């Protein structure tokens, strides 16, 4: 059972890497922020369209490892339509999961498909790959324009 679940999660990550969702620029974005992970070479440009405090559209472009691209793809799916506060809360839960694993105290029901990234906790050097898009989103929601680095 554990092996089958791991294989399913791996398939989902590979699918989001090869066919990333919301891989697009948004010419009318309210916020555009670049992110960089020098450890792995991951680069992202995140585009966020807001209506008040709600994320009405989100897209990203860039290059990086499978974990980075899959995480960005999954993140954009999960936060689209959410309030800024809900997206920030989701980031907190996601970050806790990828740093502490499934044994950490998080409510996996709130994470949805993001749960597939829990295995990253077993590889500490990949946590920055998984969280780059999230740190970039945090900067965008805070209204920061300077590039984000995981270092």
Give residue-wise pLDDT tens across range 31-57: 999 999 999 999 999 999 999 999 999
Q: pTM, whole model, 2 decimals?
A: 0.92
**Residue 91's Cα: distance from chain center in Å?**
8
pLDDT at 121: 92
> What's residue 112's pLDDT?
87
How does pLDDT run across 105-125, given as a tens digit for each residue?
556 568 989 999 998 999 999
Rounded CA-CA distance 118/96 in Å is: 9
CA 102, CA 50: separation in Å to the nearest integer? Answer: 32
| Per-residue model confidence (pLDDT) at position 5 | 60
Decide which of 145 and 76 is more confident. 76
Domains and CATH numbers, the chain: 2-146 (3.90.1010.10)
């Amino acid at each position: 059972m554990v092996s089958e679940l791991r294989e399913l999660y791996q398939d989902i990550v590979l699918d989001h890497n090869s066919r990333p969702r919301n891989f697009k620029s948004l010419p009318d974005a309210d916020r555009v922020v670049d992110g960089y992970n020098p450890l792995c070479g991951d680069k992202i440009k995140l585009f966020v369209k807001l209506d008040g405090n709600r994320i009405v559209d989100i897209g990203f472009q860039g290059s990086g490892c499978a974990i980075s691209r899959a995480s960005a793809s999954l993140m954009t799916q999960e936060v689209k339509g959410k309030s800024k506060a809900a997206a920030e809360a989701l980031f907190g839960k996601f970050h806790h999961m990828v740093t502490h694993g499934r044994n950490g105290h998080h409510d996996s029901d709130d994470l949805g498909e993001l749960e597939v990234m829990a295995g990253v906790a077993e590889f500490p050097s990949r946590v920055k790959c998984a969280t780059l898009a999230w740190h970039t989103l945090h900067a965008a929601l805070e209204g920061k324009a300077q590039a984000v680095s995981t270092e």
